[in-house]
Chains A and B, each alone.
Chain A
Amino acid sequence: MSLVESPLLSIRNFYKKYGDGCLFCTTDSESENPYMDGNRCLECGTVWACRNLNFDLYQGEILGIVGESGSGKSTLVKSLFFNEEPTYGEMYLASYRDGEQNVFDCSHQTKRYLQNHELGMVDQNPYHGLRMDYSSGGNIAEKLIAADYSHVGQMVERAEELLEKVEIPVARMNEPPRKFSGGMQQRVQISKALANRPPLLLLGEITTGLDLSVQARVLDLIRTIQQELKVSMIVISHDLGVIRMLTDRTLVLNQGRIVENGLTDQIMEDPQHAYTQLLVHSLL
């Protein structure tokens, strides 16, 4: 490995507001703003879901983003997949124009291209990530077509290979995910996200709502994928247990800000910020 690595993904000065904003809340500073209650402006009611986020993701690593509901983690991951427009901010992908072009500024077309070729996303809710009435194979094919596959035989082959990897019986390939259990739906979603061999996978709260045995299987699947395919991943979770199992580094989000970042075991055993300490002490 080289001594100086360059990141696969960089996020700089990322802000996202819901509302119009006003003079009282648009000047951001790290110090306490008397006109704001947490991340909500008392004057105009605007919620600043993400405030000045900066981080890098490197080749082959799993980065955890942890925080309670409303901390801004879903907003962030939606924006990384271009499903939300950031208010300000820059995003650089090493695979696109040598990481020198802020992809948030790119055209709709380019974003769509990156979505289809460079990114994979697994949504917290399989109903958002899958077409429930299409067959499972069809769901994967949709992603493959978007990524320029055109040969039907190849697509079927790839779909079979993927479903096998996530342990969905190939015999059930033609069934729609609607007929599957929650854990199976989540695994179909993972296979769909992997279909185009993206170098970067975004995983949002994927184990929420799964029972423990299914959760264990999904975690193992993600770990295997990372080991075998060397995909870089961002794992969003409010569950520190999941973060501890999967990630090397972690960012802690609270009220839209990164309050702490570090090695995951350091975050768990020697948390520096009061909010992180609270999180760690709440762990079962």
Chain B
Amino acid sequence: MLKVEGLYKRFSISNGKTIAPIQDLHFSLEPSTSIGIAGPSGIGKSSILKCLHRTYLCTQGNIWYDSMLYGWINLAEASERQIIEIRTYEVSYVSQFLRVIPRVSCLDIVAGELFPMIENMEAARIQAKDILQRLGIPEKLWTLYPATFSGGEKQRINLAKSLIKKPRLLLLDEPTASLDENMKEKVVELLLEMKKEGTAMIGVFHDWETMDVIVDHVLDMTPSTASQ
């Protein structure tokens, strides 16, 4: 469902210098499978995810994605409106940082993600409660604003925001980085369940244990082996 062909990303930074984290990258991904991106810090693992999500514009190359809405579409060239629709219904990116409108309760932040699909806030909240519960967010936190939550809690709110939409393609940027063992297990269980239901995943994982359980193929970014 995803074919990346000859992907390059170059950043032009001040005084004419460039950084090129991604050079001639090729890989493909089927439904219900997952790829883990490995390599040292700063090598461009997150950059790959951000290119797939179009948070970064690719310098060169194609990202073919078999979308429900549009059929095969090149995410590197699709219109912004198409990308917005695809992000709403199909592809979701879980970042390491939670960035949300201030003074909205965590329950409503998660429920709000369903708004394009569900008009009724109460119905959306029921699903949001379910996913928050599964991710181990204590009920007493649901009506609070996440600004003062712990790192691990914020991270799980981020996961809840993405997972509630049951995306077809999930881009995971260190989704378990600040979680303890117990919480990690809950997250892994949920991810495996979604994978079984057809979700394809590409992730950068901090710990090898989680990576081992979730990932089918490893994309090694260590220099000189930059393609699979």
Cross-interface CB contact of B103 among A1, A3, A220, A266, cutoff 8 Å: A220
Q: Is the CB of A216 within 8 A of B56?
A: no
Which residues from B are CB-within-8-Å of A263? 54-55, 80, 83-84
Which residues from A are CB-within-8-Å of B11? 270
Which residues from B are CB-within-8-Å of A19? none
Q: Which chain B residue has the least Cβ–Cβ distance from A250?
A: B80
Given A220-B104, A245-B101, A263-B54: A1 and B115 interface contact (C-beta under 8 Å): no
Interface size in chain B (residues, C-beta < 8 A): 21
Which residues from A are CB-within-8-Å of B55? 263, 265-266, 269-270
Q: Is the CB of A217 within 8 A of B103?
A: yes
Which residues from A are CB-within-8-Å of B1? none
Verify if A209 is at the interface (C-beta below 8 Å from B). no
> Complex Cα distance A3/B86, Å?
12
Verify if A205 is at the interface (C-beta below 8 Å from B). no
Residues of A198-231 contacting chain B, CB below 8 A: 212-213, 216-217, 219-220, 223, 227
Verify if A82 is at the interface (C-beta below 8 Å from B). no
Scoring B residues 77 to 93 as 1 if CB is less than 8 Å from chain A, else 0, what string do you get?
00011011100000000
Scoring B residues 95 to 133 as 1 if CB is less than 8 Å from chain A, else 0, what string do you get?
000010111100000001001000000000000000000
Scoring B residues 5 to 29 as 1 if CB is less than 8 Å from chain A, else 0, what string do you get?
0000001000000000000000000
Which residues from A are CB-within-8-Å of B69? 1, 3
Residues of B185-199 contacting chain A, CB below 8 A: none
Q: Is the CB of A249 within 8 A of B80?
A: yes
Verify if A262 is at the interface (C-beta below 8 Å from B). yes
Cross-interface CB contact of A227 among B50, B53, B81, B112, cutoff 8 Å: B112
Band of interface residues on A: 20 to 34
Cross-interface CB contact of A1 among B50, B53, B85, B99, cutoff 8 Å: B85
> Complex Cα distance A270/B12, Å?
10
Which residues from A are CB-within-8-Å of B57? 262, 266, 270, 272
Q: Which chain B residue has the least Cβ–Cβ distance from A7?
A: B81
> Complex Cα distance A245/B109, Å?
12
> Complex Cα distance A58/B84, Å?
12
Verify if A248 is at the interface (C-beta below 8 Å from B). yes
Q: Which chain B residue has the least Cβ–Cβ distance from A268?
A: B55
Which residues from B are CB-within-8-Å of A223? 101, 104, 112
Given A1-B69, A227-B115: A249 and B84 interface contact (C-beta under 8 Å): yes
> Complex Cα distance A249/B83, Å?
11
Cross-interface CB contact of B56 among A227, A245, A269, cutoff 8 Å: A269
New A-B contacts (17) at CB < 8 Å, excluding given A244-B99, A245-B101, A266-B57: A1-B85, A5-B81, A212-B102, A216-B102, A217-B103, A227-B112, A249-B80, A249-B81, A262-B57, A265-B53, A269-B55, A269-B56, A270-B11, A270-B50, A270-B56, A270-B57, A272-B57
Interface residues of B (CB under 8 A from A): 11, 50, 53-57, 69-70, 80-81, 83-85, 99, 101-104, 112, 115
Which 7 interchain pairs have the tightest Cβ spacing?
Answer: A216-B102, A216-B103, A270-B56, A265-B55, A227-B115, A248-B84, A269-B55
